[in-house]
Chain A
Amino acid sequence: MHVTVKLFAGFRNGRIPIEETELPEGTRVIDVVNRQTIPVNEVGIIMLNNRHAKLDTELVQGDILALFPLVGGG
């Protein structure tokens, strides 16, 4: 299945910021995090198609996944 993975802030260092990838059915958010070699405890915000998602959320064809470390501002 086809999924767009976007990385933000410090997650971009040494990685591809936006990538369209082919992933096997049943791939979960945490599998993407591991593939990207992002330490799981550094994942702050997971947005899947503009909604918050969890590490064990399963991805489906056409998903847009955005991963952020904990960030803030205001």
Chain B
Amino acid sequence: MEKIARIDMGAQGGPRVTFEPVGEYAGLGGRATTSIMIAKEVNPLAHALGAENKLVIAPGMLSGSAGAMTGRLSVGCKSPLTGTIKESNAGGQAAQVLARIGYAAIVLEGKPEGDDLYKIIVSAEGIKVEVDNSLKLMDNYPLVEKLRAQYGDKVAYMTIGSAGERMLYAASIACTDPELRPTRHCGRGGVGAVMGSKKVKAIILDDAGMKMRPPKYPDKFRDANRKFVEGLRKHPVTGEGLPAYGTNVLTNVINEAGGYPTRNFRSGTFEGAAKLSGEAQAELEIKRGGTATHGCHRGCVIQCSGIYNDKNGNYLTKQPEYETVWAHGGHCGIDDLDVVAELDFLDDNIGLDTIDMGVAIGVAMDAGIIKFGDGEGAIRLMKEEVAKGTPLGRLLGCGAEITGKVLGVEKVPVVKGQALPAYDPRPIQGIGVTYATTTMGADHTAGYAIATNILKSGGDVDPLKVEGQVELSRNLQIATAAIDSTGMCLFIAFAILDQPETFQAFLDMLNAFYGTELTGDSVVELGKKVLSAERDFNARAGFTKYHDRLPRFFYTDPIAPHNQVFSVSDEEMDQLYNW
């Protein structure tokens, strides 16, 4: 990872590739690389779909090494959905392969004129940018099939579906999993629209002839990695719960806690939750010959994913995540896992964020376009409207905020234009602080207060009270920004926050790899540095503390069963970045 490739898609005479040493971005990775580069190089007032925006693709600090869990990829840009800086993170094979080829970042710049569509082939020999108009308006599954016929199965693919080409604000970038399925998405914030604006349909990453990145101290690295893996295996969340049930184990937990937003945030419990639960999902997957345990990239030892087959035992989609099951399920009053799985497949295929897409459909239900609970109607909206790019489909595909505005809905659950995920901030106050204050727009992963509020992992803060929530969210946001930079999957947090020896093993891996002497404090410093760069970008883009608020209805409308509103004061929330 010693070099950066810049691809000027708008260069005179066609796209031009230049290479440079990693320079001032040395020692960074993942979110640190994307956010610090975007904050420095992109005019915050630029239009997100314009030539001035950049799309930075960066593997994490440990990606491409033999270390476990290190295959997470960061994609950064100014977001068309939120207008803020954006880091969108995905698994799949791309990060490992890109890191092994030797790039700290691939940066797409500029914007071509004309209608040609491009593909980019990155290998040990260099980078080729080729016109391929035969790919136009293809969706991800058939697109990857077609590319595989030419480039084979020993590569990783990053692609956009028709949503990205149409520059819909909820468009994602798909990364292929170990079996070459386009199922792992940089979902949030419309990063797929930015790739589409630059007319890049596919990036083919080929690491033939390249080896794993060697650590500076191989023996120490191997030793630390072994201890790290032991720690993940022995923790009940990373060793048992996530492998057996995936993230959807949360449906029952959040529903029992009264924090499961139902029918566009009208209730905190859903009568159909048991049918959507991770327990039901895992049983069904196994019964139909799929699997409830699957890794999104080689080297993942937690394996929170799975394979979801249809009634006839044929592959339908990967195991839908908790947030997907909620957005397409309870949020829409739908309690049928087969409907949710089909919608998950459609999202992956068309290339859309499952959260913003599902929340938009629920908002459209609120507007009466179809009824709550109408699974067939939801599938029809996706197939007949979104996939075909009709005017209704385009507005749905631009996410919940635009859908709500156009359809005249008052209760639109978004912060900075991005849809709230699967946890109601009224009975779970800590996650509300994260939604409101993160640099990303509403995002649960940015500071996962659910762990401490509900799951009692890494501490215990009462979800119904305001005390301690700002401090909790601050600490989690800092830690997350650092973990997102290492290339490690965020789910390691359950083990490293609970088990000091596993946290030490994580530090030892970084130190043995780079020959550094990082401590817990250095990790905190890295997290703060990333957040500061992001916050600075947002300030220059026009965001103030008054944007760090939830939609008004969370402060005025209580919901059952706790009959509580969000009550962390504005003054307290404004202290989040005061460290």
Contact = CB atoms under 8 A, between A and B. Distances in A.
Nearest to B249: A71
14 contacts: A9-B245, A10-B240, A45-B455, A45-B456, A47-B256, A52-B257, A52-B463, A70-B237, A70-B455, A71-B242, A72-B451, A72-B494, A73-B242, A73-B248
B456 A74 contact: no
A52 B257 CA distance: 8
Nearest to B490: A74
Interface string A21-52: 00000000000000000000010110101111
Nearest to B455: A72
Given A69-B240, A74-B445, A9 B562 contact: no
Interface in B240-256: 240-242, 244-250, 252-253, 256
A52 B246 CA distance: 23
B500 interface: no
A31 to B, nearest CB: 20
A48 to B, nearest CB: 10
A47 B304 CA distance: 24
Nearest to B456: A45
Interface string B383-415: 000000000000000000000000000000000
Given A45-B454, A50-B561, A74 B491 contact: yes
Interface string B557-573: 00001100000000000
Interface of B: 235-238, 240-242, 244-250, 252-253, 256-258, 268-269, 278-279, 304, 321-322, 444-445, 448, 450-451, 454-457, 462-464, 490-491, 494, 561-562
Nearest to A65: B256
B372 to A, nearest CB: 22
A8 B252 contact: yes
Given A10-B244, A45-B455, A70-B455, 4 more contacts: A70-B457, A71-B236, A74-B250, A74-B450
Given A70-B455, A73-B322, A8 B244 contact: no
A71 B241 contact: yes
Contacts of A10: 240-241, 244
Interface string A3-30: 0001011101000010000000000000
Contacts of B490: 74
A44 B250 CA distance: 13
Contacts of B463: 52
Given A44-B236, A50-B562, A74-B448, A8 B253 contact: yes
A22 to B, nearest CB: 22
Nearest to B259: A50
A58 B240 CA distance: 30
A65 to B, nearest CB: 10
Nearest to B254: A73
B132 to A, nearest CB: 37
A8 B207 CA distance: 43
Contacts of B462: 52
Contact of B257 (A6, A17, A44, A47): A47
B456 A44 contact: yes
A73 B258 contact: no
A50 B444 contact: no
A70 B242 CA distance: 10
B474 to A, nearest CB: 18
A47 B463 CA distance: 12
A10 B240 CA distance: 8
Interface in A53-74: 66, 68-74
Give the residue among B256, B257, B269, B454 with the most A Cβ atoms within 10 A. B256
A9 B456 CA distance: 16
A17 to B, nearest CB: 8
Contacts of A66: 252, 256
A71 B279 contact: no
A73 B246 contact: yes
B399 to A, nearest CB: 21
Give the residue among A42, A69, A71, A74 with the most B Cβ atoms within 10 A. A74
A73 B269 contact: no
Nearest to A64: B256
B456 A50 contact: no
B560 to A, nearest CB: 9
A70 B245 CA distance: 12
Given A73-B247, A74-B444, A9 B279 contact: yes
Contacts of A8: 249, 252-253, 256, 279
A47 to B, nearest CB: 4
B434 to A, nearest CB: 11
Contact of A69 (B241, B248, B304, B494): B241
Nearest to B283: A12
A73 to B, nearest CB: 3
B563 to A, nearest CB: 11
Contact of B241 (A9, A12, A49): A9
A66 B254 CA distance: 11
B279 to A, nearest CB: 6
A74 B253 contact: no
Given A9-B279, A74-B448, A45 B253 contact: yes
A51 B242 CA distance: 23
A12 B448 CA distance: 27
B437 to A, nearest CB: 18
Nearest to B247: A73
